[in-house]
A and B are shown apart, each in its own frame.
Chain A
Amino acid sequence: MSMAIARREVAPVPRMLGAQLWSVVLGYIRNPMFTLFSMVLPVMFFCFFGLTNIHQHISSSVTVGAYILASMSAYAMSNVLVYNIGINQATQRARKLDVLQRATPLPGGVALLASVIGGMALAILALLPLMVVGAIGGVEMPVTHWLDLAAAVIVGSLPMLGLGMLIGYGASPNVAPALASLIYLPMAFASGLFVPLTEMPSVIRDVAHYLPLYHLGQLSWNAVGYAQEPVWQALAWTAGWTLVLFLAAARAYRLDQQRKFS
């Protein structure tokens, strides 16, 4: 062995992750419809609901504009995580991308990490046009509120990342888009993201407190100064839901792997 030139036995993980991430980004660029929708829809909803009475106050310090901006930020971020990750993952499974990948030296965790990073990045990117339109449209808040809002939706959306992965690994690709809508949209309504909960039937108001999107909404509204639920409580619920949904997603992942590779 003394003559042997030291050759790497496996490729460096950063190189694999970088290449994998680049392929995710290229996928977004080549498939711009989803990317565009995920950016345009929240802006459009904000214009419909928020711009009309943007300066009207819902509390002494918070305007309708700021409130709706917070709701739509929560929607923009969580929407991308559920749909993008869920449907992408399910489609990749259907086309057996994972089978060929599995036969290569690429660790499964690296592929997963790349799609999560890509999904998170796209979701954060979806916030930008919304916030720009909000600022131009006349939402006036201290800078700290803008930053708090961004941080709140990123942290508060983590359970939806889990839900996205659960759908991605648990559902068949034909079912995944419908299933994502069936779970996500009613939950968004029942959590008060589109219509304030005060307008909802009391049954829904009672259920709302258990939903992860409700607490995401609370964190977002808190960030712009409209506090209802204490932050620590919303964070505790978020942490709990994140744990539950990540565990469920991990189980779905393991079952899927077992079906194919055991």
Chain B
Amino acid sequence: MNENAVELREARKHYGAVEALRGVDLAIGRGESVAILGPNGAGKTTAISLMLGLRRPTSGQARLFGMDPGDRRARSRCGVMLQESGVSDVLQVRETVDLFRAYYPNPLSLDRALRMAGLEEQAKVKVGKLSGGQRQRLYYSLAVCGDPDAVFLDEPTVGMDVESRRAFLDGIEEFGRQGRTIVLTTHYLREADELADRIVVIDKGLVIADDTPGRIKSRVAGKKVTFTVMPGLQEADLAGLPYTQLQIDGERVRLLSNEPEAVMSALFRRDLAICDLEVVGADLEDAFIGLTHHTQKEEVLTV
């Protein structure tokens, strides 16, 4: 009874010569909220596809509620939101949700499924007439309408405006509080910080970090220093400064450092004409860039 919701064991996936996953071990317990992060092409979608049985691992194993992910009993306990996958445009929202409810053994009521996605007013609108954000909410409604134990959300907030995104994230959080397992991938890393109690960073087909959002942030550069300089600044002008990552974008310089004080004093000593100086705690996005950058530099993948 206490089996994990999701397990990948030594999972590898090749597409022809391309290695999308190079041996991933990952167990997601029941009731966990896990965000999977990584740059484009890192293997996030492949990882979710293996968990759901949409793809078969080249070697290794994937389990969903202790079963083969293709097993209909396992699928009946999962709701899914995928990128670039559709439903018929000619059906109404309500008809589409009803159709998907019929796939599940113990579905929510139609009203409840629509309410959870904030689609009550669009119930009779044809899917083809929905905005991008409304369409995403429809997919969310389809993911939860079967009253699943686990939901898998692949980039769920793409195309949503700020307001509906907020409401949407609150909805997912509420869903998570009911003891459901949530697995999501996202490019809005703040989202992961807010929603997940565990973050798995995937890069180049390997898990390079697996920890709480707080610890992920503390693991890499603590502070982000940004400032504006006169044009013509060279990377050499900043040589020797204790930064972990540097980015020069025209006049704007951005660096990550664990010793911001030392950076500042070096900057002033070198007499660079800087202005608009800002020092802030690195957010998850910075932490994440730091992590993947790190592996690129050293080609060592032990975290």
Contact = CB atoms under 8 A, between A and B. Distances in A.
Interface of A: 7-11, 15-16, 18-20, 22-23, 26-27, 30-31, 95-97, 99-100, 102-107, 260-262
Given A99-B54, A104-B100, A106-B103, A26 B84 contact: no
| Residue of A27, A100, A261 with highest tally of chain B CB at under 10 A | A100
A29 to B, nearest CB: 9
Contact of B90 (A8, A20, A26): A26
A56 to B, nearest CB: 45
Given A97-B85, A99-B85, A103-B54, A9 B73 contact: yes
15 contacts: A8-B106, A9-B105, A11-B102, A18-B102, A19-B103, A22-B99, A23-B96, A97-B87, A100-B86, A100-B139, A104-B80, A104-B100, A104-B104, A106-B103, A261-B55
B52 interface: yes
A7 B90 contact: no
Contacts of B75: 103-105
B166 interface: no
Contact of A27 (B56, B88, B98, B103): B88
Given A30-B91, A95-B86, 14 more contacts: A10-B73, A11-B104, A18-B102, A30-B90, A31-B90, A97-B88, A99-B85, A100-B80, A103-B80, A103-B82, A103-B152, A104-B103, A261-B56, A262-B56
Given A10-B72, A10-B73, A23 B82 contact: no
B95 interface: yes
A243 B52 CA distance: 34
Given A9-B73, A23-B95, A105-B72, A16 B86 contact: no
B76 interface: yes
B99 A20 contact: yes
Given A26-B95, A97-B87, A107 B106 contact: no
A19 B98 contact: yes
Contacts of B55: 261-262
B91 A23 contact: yes
Given A9-B76, A10-B72, A27 B91 contact: yes
Contacts of B80: 100, 103-104
Nearest to B15: A262
Nearest to B104: A11
Interface residues of B, number: 34
A30 B102 CA distance: 21
Contacts of B73: 9-10
A104 B103 CA distance: 7
Contact of A23 (B84, B88, B104, B146): B88
Nearest to A103: B80
Contact of A105 (B76, B96, B152): B76
Contacts of A95: 86
A221 to B, nearest CB: 38
Contact of A15 (B85, B102, B146): B102
A261 B13 CA distance: 12
Q: 8 nearest interchain CB pairs?
A: A19-B102, A8-B105, A30-B90, A100-B85, A96-B85, A103-B80, A99-B85, A105-B75
Contacts of B84: 96, 99
Contacts of B98: 19
Given A7-B105, A11-B102, A100 B87 contact: yes
A92 B96 CA distance: 15
A30 B124 CA distance: 13
Contacts of A18: 102
A97 B91 CA distance: 13
Contacts of A20: 99, 102
Nearest to B102: A19
Interface string B21-52: 00000000000000000000000000000001
Interface in B126-183: 126, 139, 142, 146, 152
Contacts of B78: 103
Q: Which of B73, B88, B126 neighbours the largest number of chain A CB atoms within 10 Å of its CB?
A: B88
